A and B are shown apart, each in its own frame.
Chain A
Amino acid sequence: MSRRLSHSRDPRTTKEHNGRHSLTQESLADGHRLTRRAVLAALGAMGVVAAGGLVATPGTAQGQVFGQNESVEEAMKRLFGGKTIKDGSAAIKLDVPFIAENGAVVPISVTVDSPMTPTSWVKHIYVVADKNRIPVVTRATLTPEAGRAYMGASIRLGETGDVRAIAEQSDGTLLQVKREVKVTVGGCGG
């Protein structure tokens, strides 16, 4: 059997070999065409990627305009410029746990003492986590219709550090309170 097989195989292989030879020549020619095409395609793809990148980057930037990867000093400068921030411990109640066992979910709530009338209300409440890579956590924009200057949210804390709540009143006054929160397990992967 094996002999037969080998016999029968031999001519086939030679044939195949011949066939292959001609094929390789063709494929070589094909290969040339393909590489050119491939190069063109790659260039095209690169173009697309570059364009996509161009389109995507402002998108990301826009998304990130508010919360950038920066230090807290830069963030404060960017948000409030050189404006003085007064101590607001009398007016602002920052409710956040002293020890956050899981930094991935930390409940926080901020209440600001304000009449919330159309002449005097709290325009914004900022929550800033000093040690987070993206320090600006959220900005709540309120209207007098809210009835009370209050906001609550669940935030992430990367590590132990101060958490600030800053209230911007309708007349532009800035009030701030901050408190240290101990974080057992950090919640910011980035």
Chain B
Amino acid sequence: MADIGKVRVRVPSSIKPGDVVEVRSLVIHPMERIERDPQGKIIQKNYNYINKVVVTYLGKTIATFDTTQSVAENPFFSFTFKATDPGQLKIQFLDTTGGRYEGTADIKFS
């Protein structure tokens, strides 16, 4: 459980200015499913799952994901962005318990 919130971000090894780059990201998170009591009634509680993913590049939000419990455990997300300048790409995962997990990738041109 200590691994919760571990974020991995993968970007291609060589990026040229102006490229549309595909980024793959993964976060270790349990993404709790809905639980039911023996009568089949949904147990009302604050389930711990990621409900928002925010991607920022050069301080500007380029994509957000609003996610629900239908997203798999240890969720994986991929998206693209247009590499215009070298800088930092940051991915934040926010869960329903107030957890905030971040992963970053430095975009450099080669």
A and B part of one assembly:
yes
Q: Mark A residues whose CB is within 8 Å of B.
A: 53, 56-57, 59-60, 63-64, 66-67, 69, 104-107, 109, 129, 132-143, 145-148, 150-156, 187-190
- Tell me which residues across on chain A come within 8 A of B62, comparing CB atoms: 142-143, 145-146
A105 & B46 in contact (Cβ 8 Å cutoff):
no
Is the beta-carbon distance between B75 and A146 smaller than 8 angstroms?
no
By the criterion CB–CB under 8 Å, are A146 and B80 in contact?
A: yes
With the chains together, A161 CA to B86 CA distance in Å? 43
Kindly identify which residue among B22, B71, B96 contacts A138, using a CB–CB cutoff of 8 Å: B71
Contacts of A156 in B (CB 8 A): 33, 69-72
Bound-complex Cα distance A66 to B52 (A): 11
Q: How many A-B residue pairs have CB under 8 A?
A: 135
Instruction: Say which residue of A60, A141, A148, A153 sits within 8 Å of B71 (CB atoms).
Output: A153
**A63 contacts which chain B residues (CB < 8 A)?**
46-47, 49, 51, 96
**How many residues from B make CB contacts under 8 Å with A?**
40
B 17-71 contacts with A by CB, 8 A? 20-22, 24, 33-36, 42, 44-47, 49, 51, 57, 60-71
Chain B residues within 8 Å of A139, by CB: 65-66
- Residues in A with CB closer than 8 Å to B10 are none
Partner of B60, one of A107, A145, A155: A145
User: Which listed residue, A53, A147, A151, A188, touches B70 by the CB 8 Å rule?
Assistant: A188
Secondary structure class of chain A's binding surface, majority of residues:
mixed
Q: Is the CB of B46 within 8 A of A59?
A: yes
B82 contacts the other chain (CB 8 A): yes
- Taking a contact as CB atoms under 8 Å apart, the answer to whether A150 and B22 are in contact is yes
**Bound Cα distance from A69 to B40, whole angstroms:** 13
Q: How far is the CB of B90 from chain A (nearest CB, A)?
A: 14
Q: Are B78 and A138 in contact (CB under 8 A)?
A: no
Q: Residue B81 at the A interface, CB < 8 A?
A: yes
Q: Is B109 part of the contact surface with A, judged by Cβ < 8 Å?
A: no
User: What are the residues of chain B within 8 A of A133 when measuring CB–CB?
Assistant: 34
Q: Is the CB of A140 within 8 A of B65?
A: yes
The residues of B that contact A147 with a CB separation of less than 8 Å are 20-21, 80-82
- CB contacts (< 8 Å) of B46 on chain A: these are 56, 59-60, 63
Nearest CB on B from A156, distance (A): 5
CA distance A142 to B67 in the complex (A): 14
With contact pairs A69-B42, A141-B66 given, residues A105 and B79 touching in the complex (Cβ less than 8 Å): no
Known contacts A63-B46, A148-B20, A189-B34: does B79 contact A140 (CB below 8 Å)?
A: yes
Q: Which residues of B contact A60 (CB under 8 A)?
A: 44-47, 96
